[in-house]
Amino acid sequence: MLVDQPRPEIAGCRIGRGSIVEPGAIVCDGSATGAESVVRAGACVKQRDRFADRSILVGFPARRAGTLTGPPPMPGWALPPDAVATLRMVQR
């Protein structure tokens, strides 16, 4: 899962592998998003709501606005997966 600033609010839920939760989104307790889904900025996934894989979720409360035909594209602000191996701690 990738998140950006301002941070989304995520509590006690299941977010599927490869999903993207955009800034300002809320994913509530007991809810679940399928793999490779996108929760758009400002969306609110209510408690106990369930969404299928590759869902595009929008609105307050969230509803499925569409389905992706493939994995969501990597956001421009995200580190590529191979960059993790090159990270190191910097002393301040």
Q: Structure pTM?
A: 0.79
| Listed ranges 18-27, 44-53, 72-81; the one with the highest mean pLDDT | 44-53
What is the token pair recorded at 83?
């960059």
What is the CATH topology of the domain spanning 9-86?
UDP N-Acetylglucosamine Acyltransferase; domain 1 (2.160.10)
Dist CA 2 CA 10 (whole Å): 12
CB 4 within 8 A of CB 23: yes
CA distances from 84 to 42, 50, 91 (A): 29, 31, 18
Query: So where are the chain's domains?
Result: 9-86
42-56 pLDDT per residue, tens? 999 999 999 999 999
